[in-house]
Amino acid sequence: MKYRKVGKIMINDDKLVIGGHEFSSRFILGSGKYSMKLIEAAVRDAGAEIITLAVRRANTKEQENILDYIPKGVTLLPNTSGARNADEAVRIARLARELGCGDFVKVEIMRDTKYLLPDNYETIKATQILANEGFVVMPYMYPDLNAARDMVNAGAATIMPLASPIGSNKGLATREFIQILIDEIDVPIIVDAGIGRPSQACEAMEMGAAAIMANTALATAGDLPMMASAFKQAIEAGRRAYLAGLGRVLTRGASASDPLTGFLR
Amino acid sequence: MENKFFVDSQYLSKGALEKKHRLENDPSSRTNHMEYMPGMEVIESDVRGQVMGQVEAYDYSKYTARDVRAALDHATCSVEDFKALLSPAAEPFLEEMAKRASLETSKHFGNTVYLFTPLYIANYCENYCVYCGFNCYNHINRMKLNLEQIEHEMQVIADSGMEEILILTGESRAVSDVKYIGEACKLARKKFRMVGLEIYPVNTDEYRYLHECGADYVTVFQETYDSDKYETLHLLGHKRVWPYRFDAQERALRGGMRGVAFSALLGLSDFRKDALASALHVYFLQRKYPHAEMSLSCPRLRPIINNDKINPLDVGEKQLCQILCAYRIFLPYVGITVSSRESAQFRNGIVKIAATKISAGVSTGIGDHESKYTGRDEQGDKGDEQFEINDNRSLHAMYDDMSDEGLQPVLNDYVYV
């Protein structure tokens, strides 16, 4: 059991391990839409220990540079948004390292500005190059088992499948395929993009996802801190449910009193 | 009531006046606006046919409140839905459209608003576009900044904190050639994170050259997609060639530009058809070039020097708002820019509904940033403005105002790769 009781206190020994680094929180703040209030709520109320950062946004002279607002102890996860192929993603990742963002990188490669769907093929190529350069590579991908295996073989530290189109808040539209990744892939599966409600985050965690990344769901909420706290609780609840082992779910009505296989001798 | 565009300057020679009047009054004296001029590249493309086929068949009077309600109920806005949202039948639904548009904007852009500023480096022009302050028959102070002056202007703008710049010229290949514009782009790349261009349309290889010089975004306004009306407004010069202008964005993308921007100048012709055409131009090009970033602007006619009577006619703020809401619902992923032609009050409101990008610290004149930014009177000449602006807030005023509106101003969202 990952939780143990010491006196009346529940200790969380259940760590999220990415590339050898341990995290207690399983909520990751996505980038894209941010405000300083969002970062504050994500860290304080959702307990985020990893915050994604769009390098293209950080590459600024702006007075309110997002880098200045990341609290100490929080791990930066720069992403390569804006990249249209592996080559561009690699260059953005290297720029992130130069900017002092560390070795974590979320590879995002999109060749479509309408739906912003990730390009798995280019992502595999970028993963290979960046993993060889010592980056902790977290590829954002469309949930495809073959592509996920290729990314792991290329050195990915996690796999980050999308739940539904980015920014859509539509929840687990790719549920079945994410479940296959959870069942078959040995590195942590972090569900990214499309999670719009705490209940959806909870469901993904119950399925066995290692963590949830969200941004729009918080950024567009009426009360940021309250929504951040709701996500924290939902993710923790889902994780505990997964660790506890979900109980039997009856698919239709009550179970038959006479067993179907009763005729067997 | 129509706009009165024709104004005669007392400074024009008799010969020039005669030619001007002939162009204005005798259509046979004008060149064929559908025929390419020498040197203009012709590209194979089906986009123009796709856009104009839809626009020509568009009868907005046939749409009803029921069509509008259905459009607002649909999760994805089809071309037919968009046509309904642009129709007069949608006018009573403006608040509902605004709510839906606001939702789409926040899903795709959150609470961010991007800030940029234009820099006019020359106002020489070889075209006679009857509504434009730069037109070749309008008596204004003409100026072309040299590279040293451009660098100075850019430094003044960069010192204000601005990180994205849009370089503009009047449309004169002879005075402001592609090489000159390319040199301006090289200077801009040293001082800004993002460089856009709004210049006369050029060929693919020239766009490629300008991209190599540091420009990554190209804006071309079609002015009006109604080619017959276009012919009566653009009487002289290379701008007269309607199809060459139409294909400019596609040539820019083929030349390697990351993104392109589109617009009609609302008020020149039937604004509903022009709005439909602008959005469909984006829609069909996006399908062909899915990696490209696209954005829409929505300028309305404004008064110019020597003609303060020019106005946007029947495109009131409510109509403009309807168009912008319809754009956002139909194309939730595109940027929408609202220029300083509009009032501060309108811009403050529309960024919470549909717009994602606004200009600040704007001058449409030449070489006057230092005096406008610092109040210090610079030495030397200045070139006159293209049109009157309505919102003259500085970058800092805009930054503070946007923050006060609950938005996150963004000065850069871009990395060159």
pLDDT in tens, A246-259: 766 555 556 667 77
Query: How confident is residue B100, by pLDDT bands cut at 50, 70 and 90?
Result: very high
> What is the sign of the dihedral through the CA atoms of B385, B403, A58 and A218?
negative
What average pLDDT is seen over chain B?
90
- Cβ of residue B163 closer than 8 Å to a chain A Cβ: yes
The 10 Å Cβ neighbour count of residue B99 is: 14
The minimum CA-CA distance between B417 and chain A, rounded to whole Å, is 6
Searching chain A, which residue's CA lies closest to the CA of residue B159? A61
Q: A–B: how many Cβ contacts below 8 A?
A: 83
Would the CB atoms of B112 and A111 count as touching at under 8 Å?
no
As a whole number of angstroms, the distance between CA B347 and CA B92 comes to 22
Q: Please name the residues in contact with B401: beta carbons below 8 A apart, sequence gap of 6 or more.
A: B344, B348, B393
Residue B404 has pLDDT above 80, yes or no: yes
Residue A4 lies in a domain: no
A131 or A220, which is more confident: A131
The DSSP annotation for B336-348 comes to: EEE-TTS-HHHHH
Lowest mean pLDDT among A185-194, B38-47, B121-130: B121-130
CATH of the domain at A130: 3.20.20.70
> Helix B317-330 to helix B271-288 angle, to the nearest 10 degrees?
20
Residue B1 lies in a domain: no
pLDDT at residue B111, as a whole number: 81
B218 or A63, which is more confident: B218
Cα–Cα nearest to B246, from B216, B284, B196? B284
As a whole number of angstroms, the distance between CA B170 and CA B378 comes to 22
Q: Which of A114, A164, A218 to mutate to test the interface with B (most CBs of B within 10 A)?
A: A114
Searching chain A, which residue's CA lies closest to the CA of residue B415? A56
Residue B107: its chain A contacts at CB < 8 A? 167-169, 216, 220
What residue numbers bound the domain in which B245 lies?
14-410
As a whole number of angstroms, the distance between CA A92 and CA A171 comes to 29
The minimum CA-CA distance between A82 and chain B, rounded to whole Å, is 7
Q: Collapsing DSSP states into helix, strand and coil, what is residue B262?
A: strand
**Rounded mean pLDDT, B240-260:** 96
Searching chain B, which residue's CA lies closest to the CA of residue A62? B411
pLDDT at residue A1, as a whole number: 47
Element (H, E) at A171: none
Searching chain B, which residue's CA lies closest to the CA of residue A196? B107
b/e map B161-199, b = 16+ CB within 10 Å: bbbbbbbbbbbbbebbebebbbbbbebbbebbbbbbbbb
Using CB atoms, which residue from A33, A83, A219 is nearest to B417? A83
As a whole number of angstroms, the distance between CA B392 and CA B362 comes to 6
Searching chain B, which residue's CA lies closest to the CA of residue A89? B417
Residue A79 lies in a domain: yes
Q: Collapsing DSSP states into helix, strand and coil, what is residue A138?
A: strand
Residue B222 lies in a domain: yes
Residue A111 lies in a domain: yes
Question: Per CB distance under 8 Å, which residues of A are interface residues toward B?
Answer: 32-36, 54-57, 59-63, 82-84, 87-88, 91-92, 95, 110-116, 167-169, 215-216, 219-220
pLDDT at residue A14, as a whole number: 82
pLDDT in tens, A21-42: 888 889 888 765 556 777 777 8
As a whole number of angstroms, the distance between CA B205 and CA B192 comes to 24
Cα–Cα nearest to A157, from A130, A117, A187? A187
Would the CB atoms of A113 and B412 count as touching at under 8 Å?
no
Residue B360 lies in a domain: yes
Active site residue A106: yes
Residue B189 has pLDDT above 90, yes or no: yes
A182 or B2, which is more confident: A182
The minimum CA-CA distance between A220 and chain B, rounded to whole Å, is 7
Burial of B258 per CB tally in 10 Å (0-12, 13-18, 19+): buried
CATH of the domain at B41: 3.20.20.70
Would the CB atoms of B290 and A219 count as touching at under 8 Å?
no
Would the CB atoms of A32 and B110 count as touching at under 8 Å?
yes
Q: Which of B99, B104, B107, B191 to mutate to test the interface with A (most CBs of A within 10 A)?
A: B107
Cα–Cα nearest to A64, from A99, A36, A39? A36
pLDDT in tens, A75-92: 888 899 889 999 999 999
- Tally the domains of chain B: 1
Would the CB atoms of A83 and B112 count as touching at under 8 Å?
no
Q: Please report, to the nearest 10 degrees, the dihedral formed by the alpha carbons of residues B242, B243, B249, B251 taken in order.
A: -130
Residue A265 lies in a domain: no
pLDDT at residue B10, as a whole number: 82
As a whole number of angstroms, the distance between CA A257 and CA B57 comes to 67
Residue A251 lies in a domain: no
Residue A112: its chain B contacts at CB < 8 A? 290-291
The minimum CA-CA distance between B77 and chain A, rounded to whole Å, is 13
Would the CB atoms of B107 and A168 count as touching at under 8 Å?
yes
Residue B417: its chain A contacts at CB < 8 A? 82-83, 87-88, 91-92
Residue type at A195 in one-letter notation: I
> Helix B79-86 to helix B317-330 angle, to the nearest 10 degrees?
170
> Is the Cβ–Cβ distance between B106 and B407 less than 8 Å?
no
Residue B280 lies in a domain: yes
Would the CB atoms of B291 and A62 count as touching at under 8 Å?
no
Would the CB atoms of A59 and B412 count as touching at under 8 Å?
yes
The minimum CA-CA distance between A35 and chain B, rounded to whole Å, is 6
Which of A37, A72, A106, A232 is the catalytic position? A106
Residue A94: its chain B contacts at CB < 8 A? none
Residue B5 has pLDDT above 90, yes or no: no
Residue B4 lies in a domain: no
Would the CB atoms of B412 and A56 count as touching at under 8 Å?
yes
**Rounded mean pLDDT, B181-188:** 97
Residue B288 lies in a domain: yes
- Cβ of residue B108 closer than 8 Å to a chain A Cβ: yes
pLDDT in tens, A154-213: 999 999 999 988 766 778 999 999 999 999 999 999 998 888 889 999 999 999 999 998
Q: Is the pTM of this model over 0.90?
A: no
What residue numbers bound the domain in which A107 lies?
16-243
Using CB atoms, which residue from A62, A95, A167 is nearest to B415? A95
Would the CB atoms of A220 and B413 count as touching at under 8 Å?
no
Would the CB atoms of A61 and B411 count as touching at under 8 Å?
yes
Which one-letter DSSP state was computed for residue B173?
T
- Tally the domains of chain A: 1
Residue B247 has pLDDT above 60, yes or no: yes
Residue B313 lies in a domain: yes
Q: Which of A31, A62, A116 to mutate to test the interface with B (most CBs of B within 10 A)?
A: A62
Residue B410: its chain A contacts at CB < 8 A? 57, 62
